[in-house]
Amino acid sequence: MATEQELKNISSLHKEFQSLLDKDFKDRKVKEGEIIKATVTEITPKFVVADAKLKMEAMIPVEEFKNDDELKNLKVGSKIDVFLERIESGRGEIIISRDKARKMKAWKKMEKVFETQEEMTGYITGKVKGGFIANVEGLPCFMPSSQIDVRPLKRVDHLMNTPVKVIATRIDKNRGNVCVSRRAVLEKSKNAEILEALKNINVGDIIEDAVVKATTDWGIFLDINGVDALCHVSDLSHGRVKKPSDLVTIGQKLKVKITKIDEKTNRVSASIKALTEDPFDNIEKKYKVGEIYEGVVTKILDYGCFCKIEEGVEGLIHNSELDWTNRNVKPSKVLSASQKIKFKIVNIDKDTKRISLSYKATLDNPWEKVKDQINKEVKIKINNITEKAIFGELVDTGLSGMLHYKEISYEENLDNLKKFKKGEIISVKILEIKDDKIRFSKRALDKDPLNWFKDNNKKVGDIITTRIHEVSKTGVKVSIDKDKKLITTIRKADLAKDTADARPEVFSPGNALDAKIIELDLKTRRIKLSPKAAQLDEEKTLIQKFGENATKSGATLKGIFEKAIGKKEKKEKK
């Protein structure tokens, strides 16, 4: 058992050691939240023991050394940077972190290289929504999918967990986020190569061995001494090019002329057609508008056909210039690709390099023949019957026209359309040809019932005798001629002078009815008759004849009428 003196000595030694230790820590001037140096003293399966020259050694999980394969090169005595989180925890332990030290160091470096755009080495460790996670010197960074390469990649397995060069493109200090780009490094390297190669290329140079790298619908991509160049489809030939792939193949060597170099984008444009003379320069000397030439159909579209006139020169035959009988004919039904045809030049526009052609102008024009048949009887084949007309084509020429229901007969009855069938051949007369449209008439083949007025010398104001044909609530229909082909309607208001006598029901079919012609227009075929007007005219005549004697004798108007009518009847009997 220790004596009291021994205990005092131990206590004195402890205080002395504590004093020396505190003095030593005071001289070291270490602070929490800073990066300090530590020496590895032991490596176990789960921890790396490090001496940071503090009160005791600290243990760091081995996981913090695996990101950059640092654990493989780590050994006892290695000096490492660690982040001092706590000098003394609740348990009296020292807490340090290799991972946080690496991140803090990397962040400080990231801030510097972001300003200078210096390249750094990173490892793509995983994939997230919209991109990838790249570990750059211990700092997790985000790499968007569009920034992993200069072109879209279907697979990136060969880039995972391998060192890649990146550039920081964005830093968010508040959130501690960093965006990096591998594409920027590749483009930077590529641009340097392009700039070097462009020193040997000038606008106007003729390249003998430009290699075709790829073809698209809008042109071809070329490799000119390591520089990518585009030859647009419009620069492939002076003529129309359907598909660039029809002219060239991948790997083929071409002779081209450099037409443009964009200094901002380093893009090069090349041309094949610039090596040859533009055939449109002297086009008006070779071909004349209105003349007929020969060519080959090269392309058929919905709106017309393209015809090759010579190498590099094509013209368009619009579908309206393909057929005389059908302005909207389908081009493929008239012509076919590679067909050799004759055409007429309609127009040449040198500025826009467009030539309009006509195929139908080389064929017989049926419209010239049909003009001689106006007001003549012809045969048509019924193609279609609509609600108000019949459409048919001339049997001899195939030109189409219309027969309106009012031109079927002089009755102008809509039901007459039901008497005809599709495919039936009928006789008609051509009334009019206007704007390549023909108007037919069937009733024009028959005698016009309205000629009755001319034949009988009847005019407005004359009184004629008609026969009641039909009685309705609104009036009566009367026939003017004996054959009952000329029928018109008399309104109820025009039937009689007195309202009681103007009732339609007092009339019967077959009865005679005198009426006055109050309107007659043979062009518009308008006829208006009025029995009431006839009665008023007869009344005026009787008053003029008997009115003076009737006044003196005190006779009534009724008696005068009866007497006058009676005398008239007696004369007719004699």
**Coil, helix or strand at residue 373:** helix
Element (H or E) spanning 300, and its range? Answer: strand 292-301
Q: Which one of 1.20.1250.20, 3.30.1180.20, 2.40.50.140, 2.20.25.160 gives the CATH number of domain 279-362?
A: 2.40.50.140
Range 225-248 burial, b when 16+ CB lie within 10 A, else e: eebbbbbebebbebbbeeebeebb
The two three-digit tokens of residue 347, written as one number: 């127009």
Per-residue tens of pLDDT for the chain, all 574 residues? 456 666 666 666 666 656 655 555 555 556 666 777 888 888 888 888 887 777 777 788 887 776 666 777 788 888 887 878 777 665 667 778 777 777 777 777 788 888 888 888 888 989 999 899 998 877 888 999 988 888 888 888 888 988 999 988 888 877 778 899 998 888 877 777 677 777 778 888 888 888 898 888 888 998 887 788 889 988 888 777 778 887 888 888 888 888 888 877 778 888 888 888 888 888 888 889 999 999 999 889 999 999 998 888 889 999 989 988 887 889 999 999 989 999 999 999 888 888 999 999 998 888 888 888 888 889 999 999 999 999 998 888 888 899 999 889 887 889 889 999 999 999 999 988 888 789 999 988 888 888 888 888 889 888 988 999 889 888 999 998 887 888 889 998 888 888 888 888 888 898 898 899 999 888 888 889 999 888 888 888 877 776 645 434 444 445 555 555 555 454 444 4
Q: Residue 39 and residue 82: Cα distance in Å, rounded?
A: 10
Report the 3 state secondary structure along 34-90: CEEEEEEEEECCCEEEEECCCCCCEEEEHHHHCCCCHHHHCCCCCEEEEEEEECCCC
For the domain made up of 22-101, the CATH class stated in words is: mainly beta
| CA of residue 264 relative to chain centroid, distance | 33
Q: Specify the amino acid at residue 16.
A: E
Q: Residue 306 and residue 544: Cα distance in Å, rounded?
A: 86
Q: Residue 296 and residue 342: Cα distance in Å, rounded?
A: 9
CATH fold of 451-532 reads: OB fold (Dihydrolipoamide Acetyltransferase, E2P) (2.40.50)
Q: Using an 8 Å Cβ cutoff, are 382 and 426 in contact?
A: yes
Q: Where in the chain is the domain with CATH 2.40.50.140?
A: 22-101, 117-188, 200-275, 279-362, 366-445, 451-532
The two three-digit tokens of residue 182, written as one number: 């591998």
- φ, ψ of residue 171 to 5 degrees: the values are -130, 130
For the domain made up of 200-275, the CATH class stated in words is: mainly beta
Whether pTM > 0.95 for this model: the answer is: no
Residues 6+ apart with CB under 8 A from 63: none
The two three-digit tokens of residue 377, written as one number: 């009887």
Tell me the pLDDT tens digit for each residue of 284-339: 888 899 999 999 998 899 999 999 988 888 899 999 899 888 878 899 999 999 89
The two three-digit tokens of residue 344, written as one number: 């007429």
**Coil, helix or strand at residue 154:** coil
Q: Which one of 3.30.70.260, 3.40.50.300, 2.40.50.140, 3.40.50.720 gives the CATH number of domain 117-188?
A: 2.40.50.140
Q: Using an 8 Å Cβ cutoff, are 443 and 410 in contact?
A: yes
Q: Which one of 2.40.50.140, 3.20.20.70, 1.10.10.10, 1.10.8.50 gives the CATH number of domain 366-445?
A: 2.40.50.140
β-sheet bridge partners, residue 491: 475
